[in-house]
Chains A and B, each alone.
Chain A
């Protein structure tokens, strides 16, 4: 870093410095510096979206492997759930709605992307026994449909209560499996249109389920992207105009921030990554970071023109570049390292990829700011002859810094008290996740989920997957009894509403074929296989596909939990894992935990286990780089202080606003580390570089650096406030938290860096005395 930083500044070609060479042929510099962007523009065309929440969990996690196996074997993982809701209290088993459900169940299969096995009362059969010899009978028959007959049959099938018909009897659900729940936008749209077209008047149609939620998030990504970029551009333009004073001066910075964003997003396509939910914030993040370099260089150029009007524009730009090139390179490297900390420390692919491409964007911003930007700003940002009097802003900033330098102990104590309060709040932050938090209150998908939760068993599912070890192994009395025992233990868990299992169906068949007591199981070992053969002789063998596999080796027990909240379900999933382990050890059948809640539990635990490591890696990378580039452990320690204040304020803000540590919010601290160190490096470097005037505590050029830092922080905060306009609460928090950390880092830098430097110098003077 030193070689780049200081030796690089002095490097010459003959008598010419590298700055002279860049400025000698500005248009050639512009051309060469912009040319590589075309490669990244090509990368933009390769970007693919992945809006699934599961993208955060590693593919080799056992819960994911079990979930994927369940999807492959039983086929209805992460479906679209369509709810046809009558007015509360009105029976949904009426002729118009049953006709609509029958038509929907039939027609929805024709939609491209819908997988076989749509489940509804129209596709299911009741297990019955009657004079005609039936073992099964369709629930909805006749034309016109006989609602009373349907009601009787539905009442005889407890497994359908709460899953296909509301406990309250006033809503029906259809479960529509899809080929790819992560890319189901078109399918969801067509399913919604079909359901709305068929629903009788007065019946509300609601869509939920994981595929619907993923689709909704994809819509949000698209909506946010449409809003974020123009809004960020306007905000950045206003800040640039405020900082640089000339409308023409903001053109080149604009191209720099756009170029950095193109490199970041284009890198995703070039490295075959994916555009995840959190990636929506990436262009704005990179743009907000990139604008700081432009402000620093342009303000330095304008200062040189003001202080040395006798110099040519190119000479003034050369000097400005000599002043800020080192800090720009250093801050670019340290910020990029902060992002790389995410790439190294996070086990979550979206977070790691975010770190990697944001690092690329940050470095691109640094390179463009030292090549393209000066070549253009030398013509467009000139403010020769502008007033030299200090602005009100400079006076406030200088007053703050001077007060800190004059009374460093007091400044440190006051700030320390403030930080202690922040720490007290920060310690209350907790790891938690709830799927509903991804949507704003009132979002249609959330309303549908609430209906599912209130009137049905809900959409928070957790499964046990049973492997009997051989094909046909499930169809024995012994295996069915073991499954039944598992079901009872599963259902007894606190937080579980209901559990459905294949053993219920065998019990119903046994009861209705032999007149046995309700709930009893067959004792003859071959009875389950024979019952199934009898059922297949008259019904559809696929009726049980969502519970048992084709080979009759595996079965799934599905539990519905009262809530989707990670913190509430963590003990539940652990107890279930314990039940599974005991059952495997005691009975010889293999039992695994799977399902949505287990997957969520898996990646939240991975996040909790890795969070300290991720943040630690980011801070350590930034610190080591700062020490190396400043060639001083002492200065490195001082420069890292704003990082710590920014991070502390960020966690405090999380506690104050009740924001949980979840995948998207967990990466904020690492990003804040990369951003906060910029102020530390610029100010520490300015304090070190420029000689002080007699009687002055601070160097002459310190004002300009403080002003540049203030504009950088404000543009960062404003940029992230743009992210906070997102239609997704998680991204709102993300924007809010980074904005908080930017302000925290700035305050820490403006107050503590002069104070700590002054304290050190006093100590040094005492030591000399």
Chain B
């Protein structure tokens, strides 16, 4: 029965336009508050690895998405806290802070453009902000049919300026029609050359929303890659407001379990 349902769903969704698919993805439910533990495994082109683990707290509203990373490992960055405010309104500049325990100071990090690398990973700040969605104002969309039971969505940057801002000239994504989650995204650079691939290995449902539990980003230009894994994800309503207050970042460690 389930298989039959899936086939029927695919048949229905295959008739959708690219724009319609992109909207479905953009309107995917995102839970307002959640916590978890996130592990970044960074690899260089020779396969050497570096791992960082942090406690994660996310609070999303219609206006802003707040994310706190409280690093636990390696030991020499324990209690270092990273806080970001990503505003939905395009005219609002995103904000980022870092608390360094050794200096006992909170540093405001200048707003980085969307194509800038996120914390030495192969993700960009734009990737983190978009959270597996595609900016409707950034791309022209086209449905690319079906592959392996997934819908294929092709996006092309609306202009060279957008391509420069995002760092992407376009993409080709395979979308799970049940969760509206992109399971595989191949990004091209502004010149149209293959740039990087994000492959989602596992998704999980947290509250009402689907999130990536494990995914891999491979940069084809540099050979570097990053694996990301989120464990112990849970809905965590009622998180203290001070947890997402830059002035209180030095106390975040005691507030986040």
By a beta-carbon cutoff of 8 Å, the part of chain A in contact with chain B is 72, 116, 132-135, 471-472, 475-476, 513-514, 522, 524-531, 533-534, 536-538, 540-541, 549-552
Contact = CB atoms under 8 A, between A and B. Distances in A.
A531 B82 CA distance: 13
Interface in B189-246: 222
> DSSP majority for the A interface?
loop
A513 B76 contact: no
A139 to B, nearest CB: 16
Contacts of A513: 100, 103, 105, 107
Interface stretch (B17-25, B114-122, B164-172): B114-122
Interface string B118-159: 011000000000000000000000000000000000000000
A528 B108 CA distance: 18
A541 B109 CA distance: 15
Given A116-B222, A530-B76, A550-B42, 13 more contacts: A72-B46, A132-B108, A132-B110, A134-B110, A471-B50, A526-B75, A526-B76, A526-B101, A526-B102, A529-B76, A534-B109, A537-B98, A537-B109
Interface centre among B76, B96, B100, B103 (most CB of A within 10 A): B76
B160 interface: no
A549 B50 CA distance: 11
Interface of B: 42, 44-46, 48-50, 71, 74-78, 80, 82, 96, 98, 100-103, 105, 107-110, 112, 116-117, 119-120, 222
Interface centre among A132, A133, A527 (most CB of B within 10 A): A133
Nearest to A72: B46
Contact of B77 (A72, A533, A549, A550): A533
Nearest to A134: B110
Contacts of B45: 116
Contact of B48 (A524, A537, A550): A550
B74 A529 contact: yes
Contacts of A525: 76, 102
B115 to A, nearest CB: 12
A534 B74 contact: no
A533 B82 CA distance: 10
B141 to A, nearest CB: 30
A126 B70 CA distance: 28
Contacts of B82: 537
B189 to A, nearest CB: 12
A509 B222 CA distance: 27
21 contacts: A116-B222, A133-B109, A134-B110, A475-B76, A476-B76, A513-B103, A513-B107, A524-B103, A526-B75, A526-B76, A526-B102, A527-B102, A530-B76, A530-B101, A530-B103, A533-B80, A533-B98, A533-B119, A550-B44, A550-B48, A551-B50
B169 to A, nearest CB: 16
Nearest to B82: A537
A540 B117 contact: yes
A134 B110 CA distance: 6
Given A132-B110, A135-B107, A540-B117, A534 B76 contact: no
Given A513-B107, A540-B117, A534 B96 contact: no
Given A133-B109, A475-B76, A530-B80, A536 B50 contact: no
B127 to A, nearest CB: 15
Contact of A530 (B44, B49, B77, B96): B77
Contacts of A551: 48-50
A226 B142 CA distance: 60
Contacts of A529: 74, 76-77
Given A116-B222, A529-B74, A536 B119 contact: yes
Contacts of B102: 522, 524-527, 530
B100 A531 contact: yes
B120 A541 contact: yes
